[in-house]
Homo-oligomer: A and B are copies of this chain.
Amino acid sequence: MGPVFPFPVSLPRSRGKLAYELHQQLRAAILDGRLPARSLLPATRKVAEALGVARNTVVTVYDLLVAEGYLIPRKGAKPQVAEFARRRTSKPPQASVGIDEPRFASVWRTPFMAPSPARVLPERNFRLGIPDHRHFPHDIWRRLMAQALRRSSREPFAYAPSQGVPALREAIAQHAAFARAVACTADDVIVTSGAQQAFDLIARLLVTPGQTKVAVEEPGYPPVRAAFAAAGALLVPLPVDDEGLCVDRLPDDVRIVSVTPSHQSPTGVAMSLRRRSALLEFARRHRAVVVEDDYDGEFRFGGRPLDALQTLDRDAAVFYVGTFSKSMFPSLRKGFVVAPAWARDGLVAVKHCADSHCDAVTQSALAAFIRDGHLARHVRRMRSIYAGRRGALLDGLRRELGPWLQPIPSEAGLHLAARIRDPALAPQIVPTVLRFAAGAESTADYAMTRDIAPAVAFGYGVIDADEITATLFDLRRALDKRTRAGRTGG
């Protein structure tokens, strides 16, 4: 007796799986064309005999394939294979072709947007913008999360408001008023999934693709640039000097200006009051909007901070963006926008479209963390710890690296930058610094153009003072050798 199907069928010994296996194999054969469309299946009796299974098993499998639409039943006759597009096994699934796939919207057809590959760094390192986990009150946070989970388990499931949980907006408004003199109420606050989402939402709301010009700092924080570029903005990089963004160089047709006035990313300078006023005046005159990114302004080491742009603004031009990534931890993914009233409903609509809302339990726990004073206490404690590290960094830069590096004045945040005194030596100095000070970054990596003064930014979020001192001591000897060698060689 020849085979009952035009392909081998191999069934398992275990009885329980016979029907399942036969179904899988027949379906696969229909899908890949071994059982062609409109062909007739052999009679159930014949199949049962040929395969040595109960006829009822075959009947069941045929019925299933009919129910699923793979077979067409025909009264009193053999069922027929249905007609539909077959799987084509000849063609393997398409391989990854990266970001330049022609189906992608044009803004994504550039590696510029892709996340940078993860770096392998020693646990204590100079990387920027990561706070220290060793001093966070994990026990308090766990307790507040447990409370929030318990509370939520007693309430019916629901989607939360897109703008954010009211208790958290209330707490953020008080926190922003207290810590940064940002005048707002809970109504003005929109909770976001980190500051990055805040930029992304603002960009999507305000940018008309291919038209809206957005001024960004040069050098500046690349992910903010990415958010505006992804929305289709035309980016206008503007230089930063020791007073912050060079506001007098703003083209009149710029509609949005994105700045880090408390602590410029990455140079660390504070925008002077004069520049702040000029920027607000520019916004007023041109009906432009200012995005104020205050990512680590809570950590102040100098005297009184300059007022936030939001505080000085009287024309509803400023979107103030804050985050808990530095004051708490980045994987929390919680940030916020204090938005002008005219933009609030719009921003909430974008948030709703983007991801409905932020997870509600974490929002409640965060509200309690702020309200009960844990955030303020933690920031105060960390400020003094970071101040010690910053002091060690400044001392070391002056004592050991004075001939090569000049610290850029800065009074806040989790990192400090230093310029290369002799730009001509930058090609030798910068790589040496980055090799010794793991995690430190060249400010050139924050620039769109090549037209910036060479500098290196050192983070002190996760490194201890003695490690800073030791690293800079070693670095000095390396630079001594390298630049002496360079001089001798030249």
Contacts and interface: CB of A to CB of B under 8 A. Distances in A.
Quickly give the copy total for this chain: 2
Interface in A286-343: 287, 289, 303-304, 306-307, 312, 314-316, 329-333, 340-343
A284 B85 contact: yes
Contact of A95 (B115, B145, B152, B342): B342
A381 to B, nearest CB: 16
A401 B114 CA distance: 56
Contact of A104 (B123, B133, B315, B346): B346
Name the 6 nearest CB pairs between A and B, nearest first.
A84-B277, A69-B273, A85-B281, A138-B153, A331-B360, A193-B355
Contact of A303 (B67, B101, B284): B67
A70 B304 CA distance: 13
Contacts of A96: 341-342, 344-345
Interface stretch (A201-209, A367-375, A473-481): A201-209
B156 A354 contact: no
Interface in A103-127: 103-106, 108, 113-115, 118, 123
A68 interface: yes
B159 A330 contact: yes
A153 B159 contact: no
Given A64-B303, A69-B306, A94-B340, 4 more contacts: A85-B278, A87-B312, A93-B340, A142-B153
Interface stretch (A224-232, A384-392, A452-460): A224-232
24 contacts: A64-B303, A67-B304, A68-B306, A85-B277, A85-B281, A87-B312, A93-B316, A98-B346, A101-B346, A103-B255, A105-B206, A105-B212, A138-B149, A145-B146, A146-B146, A157-B462, A160-B331, A196-B355, A223-B352, A227-B353, A230-B350, A333-B355, A333-B356, A355-B355
A162 interface: yes
Which range contains the number of A residues in contact with the other chain?
35 or more
B206 A70 contact: no
A91 to B, nearest CB: 7
Interface in A238-297: 255, 272-274, 276-278, 280-281, 284, 287, 289
